[in-house]
Amino acid sequence: MSNKIDIDFSVQSNPYYLKVCDLSNWGLIVNDPAIIDITLPGYTDCVTKYFDKGKVNIFNSILLEVNCCDGSPDAENVTLPDGIYTIKVTGSPSTYSKTYKYLKTDLFDMEVDRIYIDNLNSRNRTDLIKTLTQIEFLVKSAGAHLRWDDIEMAGMLFQQAQDMVEDLKNCKTCK
């Protein structure tokens, strides 16, 4: 085992879960506790939980305190919002940490899928393809800006893509 400490993790999601896979080399602090702070899109405060080292840590709306049931045992798991998540894993001592920004698009992707399905035989196929290409460009651009740490631009681009999808969903003359 190396003594070098290198905190690293990967993030995946689906509509109901955020999965954080620990890829860290914890070195000398392998037996010390670690925490994870997750800030959801549109929130200013983070939710702090213990982080299981060497495992996939799975979070849902109940653990992330998104639903309105105040931790009740009868609480239902609801979908997690799309947008930019800030995820920070911190070891002990806290000088060892890593922060990662993650663009969650699961619900958005499902809406885009529905547009493709509902409009396969659209009369305005050329216009639809052009609009869907613009939407894809905006989402890919949002991801690129996020990777280059331009969070404000990433959020703005993703919001533009969401607005365009909403316009397509509400379009009465598209078919």
pLDDT digits (tens, 9 = 90+) for 58-105: 999 999 988 766 556 667 889 999 999 999 999 999 899 999 999 999
**DSSP 3-state helix, strand, coil percentages of the chain (rounded to 5)?**
35, 25, 45
pTM of the model: 0.90
Regarding whether 86 and 66 lie in a shared domain, the answer is yes
Mean pLDDT, the chain, integer: 91
**In a domain? residue 175:** no
Same domain for 27 and 93, yes or no, is yes
| Domain end among 104, 123, 152 | 104
Task: Quote the pLDDT of residue 110.
Answer: 97
Residues 66 and 52 in one domain: yes
φ/ψ of 49, rounded to 5, equals -135, 160
Does the residue 2 lie in any domain? no
Is the distance from CB of 77 to CB of 16 less than 8 angstroms?
yes
| pLDDT at site 122 | 74
pLDDT band with cut points at 50, 70 and 90 for residue 3: confident
- Cα-based torsion angle of the residue sequence 68, 86, 42, 76 in order, rounded to the nearest 10 degrees: -20
* Structural domain includes residue 1: no
The band of 123, judged by pLDDT with boundaries at 50, 70 and 90, is confident
15 and 91 inside one domain: yes
Task: Measure Cα distances from 120 to 83, 123, 128 in Å.
Answer: 27, 9, 10
Q: Of 83, 104, 125, at which residue does a domain stop?
A: 104
126 phi/psi in degrees, rounded to 5: -60, -45
133 with 149, same domain: the answer is yes
Domain region containing 165: 106-169
Distance CA(111)–CA(66), nearest Å, equals 21
pLDDT of residue 76: 86
Residues 90 and 72 in one domain: yes
Domain count, the chain: 2
